[in-house]
Amino acid sequence: MKLILLTALCVLVCAKHEEYIGWKSYYVRPVSKADFKIFRAMIERYELDILRHPISGREGIILVKPEHQAGFKQEAAAAGISVKIHRENVKQELDFDDMRIKRHNRECFARNGGRKLPYESYQQIEAINNYTDYIGATYPKVAKVVDAAKSFEGRPIKYIKISTTNFENHRKPVIFIDGGIHAREWIAPPSVTYAIKKLVEDVTQKDLLDRFDWILLPVVNPDGYKFTFTKSRFWRKTRSKGQSTITQICPGVDGNRNYDFRFGTVGSNHYACSDVYCGSQAFSEVETRVVRDILQENLSRVALYVTMHSFASVILYPWAHDGSRSHNIFDLHSVGVEMASAIHKKSLPNFPKYIVGNSALVLNYLASGTSIDYAHSIGINLTYAFELPGISEDLEGFNLSPDYIEQVVRETWAGIVVGARKAGDLFIK
Ligand SMILES: *[C@@H]1O[C@H](CO)[C@@H](O)[C@H](O)[C@H]1NC(C)=O
Ligand SMILES: *[C@@H]1O[C@H](CO)[C@@H](O)[C@H](O)[C@H]1NC(C)=O
Ligand SMILES: *[C@@H]1O[C@H](CO)[C@@H](O)[C@H](O)[C@H]1NC(C)=O
Ligand SMILES: [Zn+2]
């Protein structure tokens, strides 16, 4: 009986992720500038999917399809770039991850007396939307839910405005945090829902409500996010079709290449099947237009914009498109470092230390049309991309292990608290 049950479970669970049969993941460690140049050329040639960018002193983690593994390894060896296997069997690893997540969700459910909270387990989009609605309905004096638009596939894109003064005190600076533009980066949405909790349900830093209005958008890209639960775990883009005939076969746009600043110039691709496809034009995606409109609506008041990604344990700031210094470099760097040190104080010994810096210089990789560059270009002084940690069983994995979700959202919140206060001090109205 037991055996039959187990087999049945495996049929249910293990039939998933079949598209990743034969895929492997590798550590890759380019060192010199020349190595990085070769590595960047290999990304396109071997369709490497970068899960974690290599940075100076820290290896990257990449996914490689079966047909490209031999060529990739050969070329890396010829160039003297160190490559080590990370996971031999990516599909099996994803099956294990599913089981870990199921077990974790069961435990959370029991611990919380039957109430699942979207911040301590990975949650489907419906549960996150339910949570947002629940907050709006339960705390109408401070929290307002905005149904900003429908995604390409018709899902609501919801954000929450938090204000003790009904957003009517125009002298208050605004803090805006979004997550989930990249579908597969599952730890990003909980880091935003946890901020909602800390500003509405479990307030321990009241000054953050007195001083600021908040806009929190947990899932910018609900279609892609959903798709990573139902179909392809490594989906990154939106799910839009119809920008050109090829998007019928290769749907979706990399939202973080779709913003209107140096659009489509570097570190993005005009070929629709690419994972960094920038789209047919800037703001082709309704999902990025929602973020644009939030930024624009009260532009003069936005003191801090943070966009949540994973995984790398880095805090990145503009300019991502060319690595040049922003006019505000001093504040950008010092607030970034203060956020990182607040996170370190709450972090665990087995977590990598955060690295803070200019996006292009830290990643050795230029990217155009990003939200941090766009927000900065329209006048927001402090804009950051957080690449949250990805630790699994003490080994960096695909998912952040679900046992660490609560740890990551708590330490990340500690960074946001410090970032908001510093941004408030620097903000000149
Ligand atoms: C969301 O809320 C609706 C209505 O309250 C409920 O029927 C549904 O089961 C909830 N879904 C999830 C995933 O929590
Ligand atoms: C932006 O400011 C206008 C007035 O200046 C106000 O009516 C509106 O509610 C504000 N929106 C947000 C998101 O703060
Ligand atoms: C943005 O920073 C610059 C200095 O880098 C400063 O002059 C300006 O007042 C700041 N703007 C706001 C709104 O704080
Ligand atoms: Zn990302």
Residue 387, domain member (yes or no)? yes
Separation of CA 326 and ligand 4 centre (Å)? 22
Residue 143, domain member (yes or no)? yes
How many angstroms separate the CA atoms of 277 and 255, rounded? Answer: 9
**Residue owning the nearest CA to atom 12 of ligand 2:** 298
pLDDT at 315: 98
205 exposure class (CB count in 10 Å sphere: 0-12, 13-18, 19+): middle
Does residue 319 share a domain with residue 174? yes
Residue 198, domain member (yes or no)? yes
Does residue 239 share a domain with residue 187? yes
Does residue 273 share a domain with residue 187? yes
pLDDT at 116: 82
Does residue 402 share a domain with residue 339? yes
Q: How many CB atoms lie within 10 A of CB 180?
A: 29
Does residue 353 share a domain with residue 295? yes
Number of domains in the chain: 2
pLDDT digits (tens, 9 = 90+) for 39-84: 999 998 999 999 999 998 889 999 999 999 999 999 999 999 999 9
**Residue owning the nearest CA to atom 2 of ligand 1:** 130
pLDDT digits (tens, 9 = 90+) for 267-277: 999 999 999 99
**Residue owning the nearest CA to atom 6 of ligand 1:** 130
**pLDDT > 70 fraction of the chain, expressed in percent and rounded:** 95
Our answer on whether the CB atom of 105 is closer than 6 Å to any ligand 1 atom is no
Does residue 229 share a domain with residue 339? yes
Q: Decide which of 88, 109, 138 is a domain's last residue.
A: 88
Does residue 152 share a domain with residue 31? no
What CATH number is given to the structural domain containing 79? 3.30.70.340
pLDDT at 10: 53
pLDDT at 393: 57
Our answer on whether the CB atom of 170 is closer than 6 Å to any ligand 2 atom is yes
pLDDT digits (tens, 9 = 90+) for 126-175: 999 999 999 999 999 999 999 999 999 999 999 999 999 999 999 999 99
Q: Find the mean pLDDT for residues 377-387.
A: 98
Residue 129, domain member (yes or no)? yes
What CATH number is given to the structural domain containing 359? 3.40.630.10
Please say if the pLDDT value at position 419 is more than 50.
yes
Q: Decide which of 65, 88, 111 is a domain's last residue.
A: 88
Does residue 325 share a domain with residue 212? yes
- Ligand 1 atom, smallest distance to 124 CA: 13
- Ligand 2 atom, smallest distance to 215 CA: 13
Our answer on whether the CB atom of 124 is closer than 6 Å to any ligand 1 atom is yes
**pLDDT > 90 fraction of the chain, expressed in percent and rounded:** 84
Q: Find the mean pLDDT for residues 353-373.
A: 96
Q: Decide which of 70, 88, 106 is a domain's last residue.
A: 88
Please say if the pLDDT value at position 391 is more than 80.
no
Our answer on whether the CB atom of 265 is closer than 6 Å to any ligand 2 atom is no
Does residue 412 share a domain with residue 379? yes
Residues 6+ apart with CB under 8 A from 47: 65, 68
Residue 4, domain member (yes or no)? no
338 annotated active-site: no
pLDDT digits (tens, 9 = 90+) for 234-251: 999 999 997 778 888 999
Active-site pick, 120, 185, 387, 411: 387
Residue 1, domain member (yes or no)? no
Residue 5, domain member (yes or no)? no
Does residue 350 share a domain with residue 227? yes
Domain that holds residue 79: 10-88
Tell me the chain's radius of gyration from C-alpha atoms: 21
Token duo for residue 304: 């801090």
Q: Find the mean pLDDT for residues 26-41.
A: 95
* Predicted TM-score (pTM) of this structure: 0.94
Residue 367, domain member (yes or no)? yes
pLDDT at 104: 92
* Secondary structure (H, E, C), the chain: CHHHHHHHHHHHHHCCCHHHCCCEEEEEECCCHHHHHHHHHHHHHCCCEEEECCECCECEEEEECHHHHHHHHHHHHHHCCEEEEEECCHHHHHHHHHHHHHHHHHHHHHHCCCCCCCCCCCCCHHHHHHHHHHHHHHCCCCEEEEEEEECCCCCEEEEEEECCCCCCCCCCCEEEEEECCCCCCCCHHHHHHHHHHHHHHCCCCCHHHHHCEEEEECCCCHHHHHHHHHCCCCCCCCCCCCCCCHHHHCCCCCHHHCCCCCCCCCCCECCCCCCCECCCCCCCCHHHHHHHHHHHHCHHHEEEEEEEEECCCEEEECCCCCCCCCCCHHHHHHHHHHHHHHHHHHCCCCCCCCEEEEHHHHHCCCCCCCHHHHHHHCCCCCEEEEEECCCECCECCCCCCHHHHHHHHHHHHHHHHHHHHHHHHHCCC
- Positive or negative, the Cα torsion across 15, 16, 18, 22? negative
Return the ligand number nearest the Cα of 294.
2
Is there a contact between 355 and 313 (Cβ–Cβ < 8 Å)?
yes
- Dihedral angle at the C-alpha atoms of 16, 19, 21, 23, nearest 10 degrees? -130
Please say if the pLDDT value at position 219 is more than 50.
yes
Does residue 61 share a domain with residue 119? no
Please say if the pLDDT value at position 2 is more than 70.
no
Our answer on whether the CB atom of 377 is closer than 6 Å to any ligand 1 atom is no
Mean pLDDT of the chain: 93
pLDDT at 15: 73
Using pLDDT thresholds of 50, 70 and 90, give the confidence band for residue 1.
very low
- Is residue 214 reached through a cis peptide bond, with omega within 30 degrees of 0 on the bond before it? no
Our answer on whether the CB atom of 84 is closer than 6 Å to any ligand 3 atom is no
Does residue 229 share a domain with residue 368? yes
Separation of CA 389 and ligand 1 centre (Å)? 30
